[in-house]
Structure 1
Amino acid sequence: MTTAEGFRVLDEKSLREYIKATPSLASKLGTHELDNLDIKEVGDGNLNFVYIIISPSGSLVIKQAVPYIRLIGESWPMTKERSYFEATALKRQHDLSPEHVPEVYHFDKTMSLIGMRYIEPPHIILRKGLIAGVEYPLLAEHMSEFMANTLFYTSLLYLTTTQHKSAVAEFCANVEICRLTEQVVFSDPYKISEFNRWTSPFLDTDVEAIRNDKILKLEVAELKSKFCEKTQALIHGDLHTSSVMVTKDSTQVIDPEFAFYGPMGFDIGAFIGNLFLAYFAQDGHVDHENDRKAYKAWILDTIANTWNLFYKKFTSLWDIHKEGPGEAYLHEIYNDLELRELVKQKYMMDLFHDSLGFAAAKMIRRIVGVAHVEDFESISDLVKRSDCERRALDFAKNLMKKRRNFNTIIDVISVA
């Protein structure tokens, strides 16, 4: 498939030729090693083709966006221009959090292709580590740092309104990807949709209850409005546990093709919500050697530490730059210590409640919507699986409806 503007979907053979013709990629692999490339397609996601390329001298990853949703096929078209926003977001997030975001080596707009650092073994997808019951002692530290840096420095707490509006305008064009999120997170799970699926017949009444829950629908409408209208910061837009690669001492955030200027709580909530999904799935992975109780406690500790460390790091950045260019709270107006504390408390509590709401929305869509998670799907016993899913659903519904009643993350964990 080659389009008029020169786009074509690459395969292993044409990818070799592309690399040879692209100095920024060839140099990373060793220009004398280009006939000895090991190329493997590993795109297990819903949207793109992803290749790992290894030579005796180096390695990299090539990611190519195609003009449809790979999970569904050409019957669900999707703009391949999303790769521009992914490449742009990767570069900005790498600048702001270089230890936790891979470097971009090459971007080809015509081919919707990104060449970037290969996150080498023993890194694995965090979701797979959570299913396997592996503890990552630095996960909360690293993810809170990534979120604090990328969200603070792209917000009006640090930027002028001119800088902020310019950035918002650039990412506004990622409209089709945003519409996909609007549909699959905030709309489809609450109505009859051909794309919805769930563990049937076990969850049939639970799914019907969601569609008939008027209070839940009021709350998700408010969250959808915030997602569409609140241009707080440059958010990753899809920050679940399959968008993070980990070892015991390294955390790398990948795949920001859903990036745009939106509500900060959507990123925080996506990550925390997926940790809660992992928590509720643990009972389905119990075996005679491991009851997973200690691991469940570790997940809850990680959720608490992620929010609490984020709060500390984010407000610390705010304090450091209180006399900086950020125009949200001008220093001439908010230079009184007591007033500044009141502003911070209000801002952070609103952000906390947003995060809880978005966490709940992300949990619900992963159980009754189009795209599910391996945490549950890998539980082969459907009775066990549906029991885990039901407890996650009940928690998420309660969290969405009563999120403003929670004042601390420990309060939230106490009802999980």
Structure 2
Amino acid sequence: MDDAQRVAAGYRPLSEADLPRYLAGLPGMADRLGGPPAGWTVREVGDGNLNLVFIVKGPAGGVAVKQALPYVRLVGESWPLPLSRAHYEQMALAEQARLVPGRTPAIRHYDERLALIVMELLEPHVIMRRGMIAGTRYPAFAAEIADFMARTLYFTSDLALTAAAKKDRVGAFAGNHALCKITEDLIFTDPYRVAANNRWTSPELDDIAAAFREDLDLHVAVSRLKLKFLSAAEAMLHGDLHTGSIMVTEAETRVIDPEFAFYGPMGFDIGAVIANLLLNYLSQPGHETEPGGRRAYQRWVLDTVGEVWSRFRDDFLALWRANPTGDAYPPDLFQGMAGAARLEEERQAFMDRLWRDTVGFAAAKMIRRILGLAHNLDLESIPDRRLKAAAETAALGMARTMMVETERFPSVDAILARAEAAGASVRA
């Protein structure tokens, strides 16, 4: 019997009405919240695609409660989904907390039977996507997300782990294939074919959507990315690392919702962050209250894209130099000054390859958010339909070039220049 079947045997979705009684029965929870359960406030706030999310507050404090549903919430019961994803999420949260303390919400309780996680309530943090739509700057974000990605990716890779330890970890997450299947279909396949769940701004984007379905160069490029996603178990990924899975204040960054966690290609997580920043950049004209009012903010977004990659590259290389503990690139093969120089050259080449992967995966993420099932609020909330379609058209054009002609983007500066050109077309 697999995890999903075992959890489902005693499973029931909780409601705002019965959650206080459940929490009151957990050790220490009444003290954490304070006062009698009848006085606790409970709000269901889930605005994601898959789960129930509750905020529970009492006189002494609060908690966040996340419960998996046995189906995709965005679609309904016609799309069943294993409850075991809660198991992989709590496992990923624990590993991330070990590797990057204080960068994820602390787990207060995990109930496998109910597929439910009680977590630290992050306040006054907000979902980063919503803050960026409002034009709020987050000065700490670039450095902190770069550090998070560098540490979680490096220390779960063959560069830091023995082969046996790495294989054990790959095996521990291998059962999360149902969530991987969502990614495989919704990101790498459906936007390029006729699929029931696809949607886009119609009729404005009809011709582009049709062209993408016939574009064999694009189909080859995305299929190569999909193959890498399927086969390259390079490190433990968050698996859904975008600005909707990040909570922030101006001074702190926290990463949430790693239920898509598995071992895959490092560039997928990095590309997801960069893609969502680029989409926000292109959406900004649609959120202006006066012409040109968000130009300075757009500059900050692009600077943040550049800083995320440059800091990540520096952080990852520093970890590799200081912690050469894995079975890949054994240090005794690179002795002496000549060996050290050759290894450093290879490290730089590794990062160049990772950048190319990042560009391709970022492009795939951008395309799926416009032509696939689940869209970004950055674009969806633009009130002017003409501006919305213009931003989406610019994003799709940029993304296609990034995916099919990746060699045109040897550095992050090339991406920034292309984004500026795309942004100019939105305002034209």
TM-score, normalized by length of structure 2?
0.94
Matched, 1:350 2:372: no
Alignment partner, residue 178 of structure 1:
180
Task: Find the partner of 2:313 among 305, 311, 314.
Answer: 311
Matched, 1:236 2:238: yes
What SS class does the counterpart of residue 113 from structure 2 fall into?
coil
Distance 2:305 2:154 in 1: 20
Task: Find the partner of 2:404 among 390, 398, 401.
Answer: 401
Compute the displacement of 1:139 (Å): 1.0
Distance 2:150 2:45 in 1: 30
Alignment partner, residue 133 of structure 1:
135
What SS class does the counterpart of residue 198 from structure 2 fall into?
coil
Task: Find the partner of 1:166 among 146, 165, 168.
Answer: 168
Alignment partner, residue 423 of structure 2:
none
Alignment partner, residue 45 of structure 1:
48
What SS class does the counterpart of residue 244 from structure 2 fall into?
coil
AA aligned to 1:257 is E
Task: Find the partner of 1:370 among 340, 354, 373.
Answer: 373
AA aligned to 1:134 is T
Task: Find the partner of 1:29 among 6, 28, 33.
Answer: 33
Superimposed CA distance per residue, residues 41-99 of structure 1 (whole angstroms, 9 cap, x where no aligned partner): 10000000000111111211110001000111101111111000000001110111122
What SS class does the counterpart of residue 179 from structure 1 fall into?
helix
Superimposed CA distance per residue, residues 135-165 of structure 1 (whole angstroms, 9 cap, x where no aligned partner): 1111101110110111111111111000000
Compute the displacement of 1:293 (Å): 1.0
Matched, 1:326 2:330: no
Task: Find the partner of 1:15 among 16, 19, 23.
Answer: 19
Alignment partner, residue 276 of structure 2:
274
Task: Find the partner of 2:416 among 383, 407, 413.
Answer: 413
Distance 1:401 1:24 in 2: 55
Compute the displacement of 1:405 (Å): 3.3
Distance 2:144 2:367 in 1: 26
Q: Is the 8 A contact 2:39 2:58 kept in 1?
A: yes
What SS class does the counterpart of residue 43 from structure 1 fall into?
coil
Compute the displacement of 1:105 (Å): 1.1
Task: Find the partner of 1:259 among 258, 261, 268.
Answer: 261
Identity rate, percent: 44
Gaps of 5+ in 1: none
Distance 2:12 2:284 in 1: 42
Alignment partner, residue 338 of structure 1:
341
What SS class does the counterpart of residue 17 from structure 2 fall into?
helix
Matched, 1:96 2:99: yes
AA aligned to 1:75 is S
Q: Is the 8 A contact 1:25 1:115 kept in 2?
A: no
Superimposed CA distance per residue, residues 201-239 of structure 1 (whole angstroms, 9 cap, x where no aligned partner): 000001011111111110000000011111011100000
Alignment partner, residue 68 of structure 1:
71
TM-score, normalized by length of structure 1?
0.96
Q: Is the 8 A contact 1:24 1:105 kept in 2?
A: no
Distance 2:331 2:407 in 1: 29
Distance 2:405 2:310 in 1: 20
The residue correspondences of 1:183-202 to structure 2 (distance < 5 A) are 183-202=185-204
Compute the displacement of 1:283 (Å): 1.4
Compute the displacement of 1:287 (Å): 2.1
Superimposed CA distance per residue, residues 264-292 of structure 1 (whole angstroms, 9 cap, x where no aligned partner): 10000000000000011111112227521
AA aligned to 1:331 is P
Distance 1:143 1:348 in 2: 17
Gaps of 5+ in 2: 1-6, 420-428
Superimposed CA distance per residue, residues 149-207 of structure 1 (whole angstroms, 9 cap, x where no aligned partner): 11111111111000000000010000000001101000100000110000000000010
- Structure 1 residues 82 and 24, CA gap change in structure 2 (3 angstroms): farther
How many residues in Structure 1 have an aligned counterpart in Structure 2? Answer: 411
What SS class does the counterpart of residue 18 from structure 1 fall into?
helix
What SS class does the counterpart of residue 197 from structure 2 fall into?
coil
RMSD over aligned CA atoms reads: 1.4
Distance 1:286 1:21 in 2: 49
Compute the displacement of 1:401 (Å): 1.1
Distance 2:405 2:396 in 1: 14
- Structure 1 residues 4 and 306, CA gap change in structure 2 (3 angstroms): closer
